[in-house]
Structure 1
Amino acid sequence: MAKKIETKELNYEKQFFKSILEYSVNHNISLDSVIDVFNQQTTKIIKKKLDQDAEIVYELDKKNKIAKLYNLYVSVVDNDPEIIRDIENNPEIRFYNITLNEAKLYYPEVKVDDIIKAPVSLSWISESKNSNIKLIAKVLFNSIVQGIKLLEKKIIYDKYSCMIGQKIMAEFVSQTDKGNWNVILLDPSGLHNVSAFLPRSLLNGQRDIKRGQKLEVVIESVEEDTKLSQIKVSLDSPLMVEAELKENIPEINEGLITIYKIQRKPGERTKVALKKTNSSNSDFDLHGAIIGINSNRINSIRSKLNNERIDIIEYSDDLITFIKNALSPAKVIDILKKEEKNNDYYVIVLKESITTAIGKKGVNASLASSLTGTHLDIVDTEKADELGLEYDKNALSLLSQFNYSSNKKVNSNNRKERKNNLTSFDFNMDTFDKDVAAFELQEQEDNNKYSDLNFDELFKQHEKELNELEKEQEETISEELAKEEIKKDIKNYKKAKKVIEDFKIDDDLTNFGLDKNIDLSDLNDEEW
């Protein structure tokens, strides 16, 4: 019988040694940390179920590949036959009592009632005649597993909580019925990968992801303790845009530009509000820094976002200006604060600009609203007049005067080369006035076209037009910058006349290559 118990004890010691090493290697946890968990959890259960004074420790014998268990507080008892008989019938008693004869094997000078460190074995629990005592082993094993899980969660939290907003490569493992993805974050070493969760809400529905595919994701959040995946990642959240901006725009890392806020509708549109810092010069070109030479920077970012449309918005401390900027590319006549609510504003636009201001499925307006922290009620001039809103009529006149209708849009892919250049720049003010008159006539036709539509019908009509418009008018941000410059030149009609009347060819233009063919035919006011 004694031989059988010794064999069982040895098996336990070998199993514990193997378990401790495997936990350490497989979960990337230090050996000492794993041993601490075994010590704490075993002590906790033994104290609760068997001996309230116990303190259990595991010691590894790497040579013999066994893990020995010890109780630091075992009481030495007399070699009384009755006590010995009691221990033999109830082996679990050996966890806290040891006979004098056995104690002398470890400490020759020991006496009765001394407290010593003595070896113990879980086999004593499994050999107990008490069914409740036998259950301690199962409870203990579960407690150790739980302790390891908690330790692993702490390690994951400590490592990844400081990586929120950073990109990391992930492998897509499985997709749930609701469209969420379980992914594995790939450790550069390839040894210690961690599972993560990508919710459907942070994934562009237009993406066609395959099981086993590897893509860069951004760490959104890390929970310290949860029954689900600790790490939530995204493929199409604002944090992905922020990470790409920081990676591609050195001026951000240099402290010349600050990312104020990002709002995103994955797969459709992103608005990025940026502001110049005090470290930048007054003439620092914020838009140029983001776009880069030949649009290389912004195109690099867009390529990693499935060519998603990105609006670069310059932040302003003046809320009205910020709202106007945020509604880009829409042209805004005026913005009026609603009296009844603090953050509600009327946005007045031309009827022809309703489509651009609202955007497909309301995306442009909703993103602008979120970006500025306001609620925007976008109305055309007719509605504004019905409501009795007093808006800037001068701005209305200027916008109406230079509003190019969408049907004059020329597809850039079918653009014909202009034969004339600045060296043969030849037109007079009569021609210019005729052009303006033609624009005004076209505006009147457009107004008549929509005069019988109410707001809802107008929205539906423009929704349909926008789908067609977006297919034809996909353009790079560099083109938008060019339009912004042109917009500044034509805001005041009288100033435009004077510029043309006084126009002279400057040799500096030739030096910078600006006397080449310039085609402005594809500029459309609804894209400004």
Structure 2
Amino acid sequence: MSSDLLEALTALEQQKGISRDVLVDAIEAALVTAYKRNFNQAQNVRVDLNLDKGTMKVYSRKDVVEDVEDERLQISLEDAQVINPVYEIGDIVEEEVTPRDFGRIAAQTAKQVVTQRVREAERGLIYEEYIDREEDIVNGIVERMDAKNLFVGLGKVEAVLPSSEQIQTETYAPHDRIKVYITKVERTARGPQVFVSRTHPGLLRRLFELEVPEIYDGTVEIKSIAREAGDRSKISVYTTNEEVDPVGSCVGTRGARVQSISNELNGEKVDIVEWSEDPVVFVANALSPSKVLDVQVDEEERSTTVVVPDYQLSLAIGKRGQNARLAAKLTGWKIDIKSETDARELGVYPRTEEELNAYSVEEPDGDTEDTGDYLEAYEYEEETPVEETEDYDLYADVDTKED
């Protein structure tokens, strides 16, 4: 053994980030295996590596007992005290048994074992690094694809992006740079396996944290997210700072912040609404951009009946019921949307003055078509009035009217 080994261990520690003690333990374990295999020895042995002196020695270890049953593993008290009088029953006696040609044989046999231990140590470091990054966003490069999965390089590891976690409107090509959300990290026989997503609501949350300083520093809080990846999403935001507009902070000047996030998600529209602990206000906000005339709440059933102007019924429902469905997911309340005409015929609108005082909905300022800086978040096509209306239970998969 020479100083070359010490230099090699130091280089591995610097390049791979693996502690030299870990490598020394791996080498000692490999040499013990090599000794037993090549010299047909079954006794308990220990290998001592002295990196400073560049020496390697093998010691047999025997237990001190009164009656010897196996001479390879045990030694009598009398024989032990001949070596050193201080030995007592239960002690361990070590004796050097280093073979003359052990260096050559050990080098050949230990190479594969040491390599395996180094690889395992590297995998352990990678696992520890990425397990701490679960539920976080990372940059990756598309490396390859198969029939179902996309493989994204994250630097030290290759992550799997399953087809179910891909945005269906996106196309990927090798060397494309994308942001992904780490959903799970597993330890496998082949090393750590990282699973990522482009459809998880957590990706939208992290993108807003990166883009909006007020969210990153905690001034504005994201309360809930409802997302249909690649098409449209809604998020609710809240702040206790009266001087900060939570919605305006997320939208940015001329919609720059939300536009940047939309571009990262392949044009996905993002509605930003203000959260409220009052379900009347929250549900009305969540159905934006439609105007809401009234919201009636059933606390026991955790459901709401929403009245909208006749000409905005289809806008409130959205294409294939998307706007109402996302609003229900965002608020956690069932939403039954009725037109003003149907509500009057059923006698649920207008309500008595006492009821209206108990539940009042503030109408949005200005016309709903005037979206201003919210254009990207609230863009929609002109709707046509719906002559016949139906009730929509948004937690059930029911057919809704097309625009």
With over 3 angstroms needed to count, the CA separation of the structure-2 counterparts of 1:123 and 1:382, relative to structure 1, is: farther
Partners of 1:348 and 1:318 in 2: CA distance: 17
Matched, 1:264 2:243: no
1:59 equivalent among 42, 45, 49: 49
1:216 equivalent among 160, 163, 179: 179
Match of 1:90 in 2: none
SS of 2:235 mapped into structure 1: strand
Conservation of the 8 A alpha-carbon contact between 2:221 and 2:239: yes
Conservation of the 8 A alpha-carbon contact between 1:35 and 1:58: no
Partners of 1:329 and 1:212 in 2: CA distance: 39
SS of 1:242 mapped into structure 2: helix
Partners of 1:334 and 1:223 in 2: CA distance: 49
Conservation of the 8 A alpha-carbon contact between 2:185 and 2:194: yes
Conservation of the 8 A alpha-carbon contact between 1:38 and 1:58: no
1:237 equivalent among 179, 182, 200: 200
Quote how far apart the aligned CAs of 1:257 are: 1.2
Question: What is the letter of the counterpart of residue 173 of structure 2?
Answer: K
With over 3 angstroms needed to count, the CA separation of the structure-2 counterparts of 1:273 and 1:119, relative to structure 1, is: farther
Matched, 1:33 2:22: yes
Question: What is the letter of the counterpart of residue 172 of structure 1?
Answer: V
Conservation of the 8 A alpha-carbon contact between 2:150 and 2:163: yes
Partners of 1:388 and 1:151 in 2: CA distance: 72
Quote how far apart the aligned CAs of 1:114 are: 3.8
Partners of 1:387 and 1:37 in 2: CA distance: 80
Conservation of the 8 A alpha-carbon contact between 1:20 and 1:34: yes
With over 3 angstroms needed to count, the CA separation of the structure-2 counterparts of 1:403 and 1:260, relative to structure 1, is: closer
Which has the larger helix fraction? Answer: 1
Conservation of the 8 A alpha-carbon contact between 1:184 and 1:196: yes
Match of 1:376 in 2: 335
Quote how far apart the aligned CAs of 1:317 are: 1.5
Partners of 1:69 and 1:362 in 2: CA distance: 77
Q: Structure 2: any 5+ residue segments left out of the alignment?
A: 65-70, 76-82, 370-374, 376-382, 393-397
SS of 1:34 mapped into structure 2: helix
SS of 2:267 mapped into structure 1: coil
- Cα RMSD, aligned residues only: 5.1
Match of 2:322 in 1: 363
The 5-angstrom pairing of residues 13-412 of structure 1 reads 28-37=17-26, 39=28, 54=44, 56-57=46-47, 59=49, 70-71=58-59, 73=61, 114-116=93-95, 118-119=97-98, 145=116, 151-178=121-148, 180-186=149-155, 193-223=156-186, 229-277=192-240, 280=241, 282-338=242-298, 341=301, 343-381=302-340, 384=343, 389=348, 392=351
Question: What is the letter of the counterpart of residue 324 of structure 1?
Answer: A
Partners of 2:168 and 2:399 in 1: CA distance: 23
Conservation of the 8 A alpha-carbon contact between 1:274 and 1:313: yes
SS of 2:132 mapped into structure 1: helix
Quote how far apart the aligned CAs of 1:372 are: 1.8
Partners of 2:308 and 2:35 in 1: CA distance: 76
Conservation of the 8 A alpha-carbon contact between 1:195 and 1:229: no
Larger Rg: 1
SS of 1:230 mapped into structure 2: strand
Q: Whose relative contact order is higher, 1 or 2, with alpha carbons under 8 Å and at least 6 apart? A: 2
> Identity of counterpart residues, as a percentage?
25
Which has the larger strand fraction? Answer: 2
Match of 1:482 in 2: none
Using the size of structure 2 for normalisation, the TM-score is 0.66
With over 3 angstroms needed to count, the CA separation of the structure-2 counterparts of 1:225 and 1:334, relative to structure 1, is: farther
Conservation of the 8 A alpha-carbon contact between 1:327 and 1:365: yes
Moved more, 198-207 or 310-319: 198-207
SS of 1:207 mapped into structure 2: coil
Conservation of the 8 A alpha-carbon contact between 2:28 and 2:49: no
With over 3 angstroms needed to count, the CA separation of the structure-2 counterparts of 1:288 and 1:231, relative to structure 1, is: same
